[in-house]
Chains A and B, each alone.
Chain A
Amino acid sequence: MLAEIAANFPWWGWPLALFAVCFLLGIIAVPAGVGGGVLFVPLVSGFFPFHLDFVRGAGLLVALSGALAAGPRLLDGGLANLRLALPLGLVASTSSIAGAMLGLALPTMVVQTALGIAILGIVAIMATVPNSAEPRVGRPDALSAALGMHGIFRAGASGREVAWQAHRTPQGLALFVGIGVLAGLFGLGAGWANLPVLNLVMGVPLKVAAGTSSFILTLVDSSAAWVYLNQGAVLPMIAAPSVIGMMLGARLGARLLYVVPAHAVRKLVLALLLFAGVRALLKGMGIWP
């Protein structure tokens, strides 16, 4: 049925539909607390006629442009911490190059199937792993102490100042190697994984973890995006409407942040991801081409 619709659809309708879909994804991504890439890649690869190479390249750019737009404000406001982000960004951006090269070298159906499995895994993580606003940290490890991975932030509601300190840095670094590979391999961005690792493993307060996670994307997705760009996997007609649509949608989403119930939007995003994950898996296995 999809093939029939695709055959009868005017060619210019696809970039237009892509812009509209990205605008809608941008609106729901912000209140749901996810980056755009994790929604973009499975949905667009599942329902648009574009090759997975171009979709992954555009997915990285969607995630990168969102992170770049937010980065300056997060740094100025102290919600993205450079001392925390730089070491983690370094390992993840290095491994994202390997992930991107692997993704462009593997057969498309293998990547498509693995994408479906990865998305279903992300749904499971997002649905079951709770975040912690201010995790308890015992003694900082030697590495976090040496790199100065600590700070103070102002809690939004009460306005009180909260001191924080990261711990389990070696474990965090090891996990960020894996996050980088997945980001480069699937073009997903990596916010969905950065946040729980920073918050639950390294004990960083939720607000700082969210801000730093977004900032780390500017490093991870830049290096992976260059690999895709150099290999011709960035098509202007796919990348430009995606980036522009997602950024305009995210602006509206940020305004709706205080109006729409975030919990309901998060459930909608989980349902969308579940559907897109199943679709990617079935497409990869040739069951629903």
Chain B
Amino acid sequence: MTGHDPLAAPRRYAAWLAWGSRVGLVLLAVGFALYLGGVAPQVPIEHLPSLWDRPAAEYLQRTGLKSGWHWASLLHRSDMLVIAGIALLASCSIACLAVVIPVFMRHREHALAWICVAQVVVLAVAASGWLGAAH
């Protein structure tokens, strides 16, 4: 440990978290407003009542959507823009962790740096879509 600013990592993390969550929420709100306005939906709103009481696997099957990152190829669809906003909210911790790793390394807090690396890997694996569920 050196005579470093102990608040450097939390402050940097906080700044990135604030921006990431703000952008994610704006994207979610804009996408939802467009969806409610009927602008280019992937799943038309009027079809939802026959879908929302079915399991997720059946929803995918009946809407032609695929599991994983298929939504990312449909970002011109308003409802998929909502999904993009949600994906951003679920991802912003990855960026926050990545930016504090150099801070921990510089301050010779190697254990915390490696914990951040491991956390990034866990979040990346979760986001990758490799982990399928046998529904």
Q: Which residues of A contact B (CB under 8 A)?
A: 11, 14, 49-51, 53-54, 57, 61, 64-65, 68-69, 71-73, 75-76, 78, 80, 82-83, 86-87, 89-90, 93-94, 97, 100-101, 104-105, 108, 146-148, 218-219, 221-241, 243-244, 247
Number of A-B residue pairs at CB separation under 8 A:
183
Known: A68-B17, A148-B109. 7 other contacts (CB 8 A): A53-B56, A72-B14, A222-B123, A225-B89, A230-B67, A230-B131, A244-B29
**Are B45 and A237 interface neighbours, CB within 8 A?**
yes
B interface, how many residues as a size bin?
Answer: 35 or more
Determine chain A's interface SS by DSSP, over half rule. Answer: helix
Contacts of B125 in A (CB 8 A): 97
Chain B nearest Cβ from A282, distance in angstroms: 18
B133 to A229, Cβ gap below 8 A?
no
In the complex, which of the residues B60, B112, B122, B135 contacts A223, with contact meaning CB atoms closer than 8 Å? B122
CA distance A218 to B87 in the complex (A): 13
A97's nearest neighbour on chain B, judged by CB, is B126
For this complex, 5 residue pairs linking A to B, each with C-beta atoms less than 8 Å apart, are: A54-B59, A76-B11, A90-B119, A222-B93, A225-B86
Closest to B78 in A: A236
Residue B118 lies at the interface, judged by CB distance under 8 Å to chain A: yes
Q: Name the one of A65, A75, A230 contacting B89, with C-beta atoms under 8 angstroms.
A: A65
CB interface residues, B 59-105, toward A, < 8 Å:
59-60, 65, 67-69, 79, 82-83, 86-87, 89-93, 100
Bound Cα distance A232, B79 (Å): 13
Q: Which 7 A-B pairs have the closest CB atoms?
A: A236-B82, A68-B21, A104-B133, A233-B56, A75-B14, A240-B32, A72-B18
Instruction: Indicate if the CB atoms of B52 and A237 lie closer than 8 Å.
Output: yes
How distant is the Cα of A146 from the Cα of B114 in the complex, in angstroms? 14
> Does B3 lie at the interface of the complex (its beta carbon under 8 Å from any beta carbon of A)?
no
Q: Is the C-beta of B40 less than 8 angstroms from some C-beta in chain A?
A: no
B39 contacts the other chain (CB 8 A): no
Give the residue among B89, B92, B100 with the most A Cβ atoms within 10 A.
Answer: B89
- Establish whether residues B10 and A76, one from each chain, have CB atoms under 8 Å apart when the complex forms: yes
In the complex where A218-B17, A235-B59 touch, is A82 in contact with B9 (Cβ < 8 A)? yes
Report B37 CB to chain A, min CB distance, Å. 13
Residue among B11, B46, B115, B133 with max Cβ neighbours from chain A (10 Å): B133
Q: Which of B117-132 contact A (CB under 8 A)?
A: 118-119, 122-123, 125-127, 129, 131-132
Contact of A93 among B53, B59, B119, B133 (CB under 8 A): B119
Shortest beta-carbon distance from A112 to chain B in Å? 12
Q: How far is the CA of A68 from the CA of B49 in the complex (A)?
A: 30
Contacts of A80 in B (CB 8 A): 10
Contact among A65, A146, A148 for B21, CB-based, below 8 A: A65
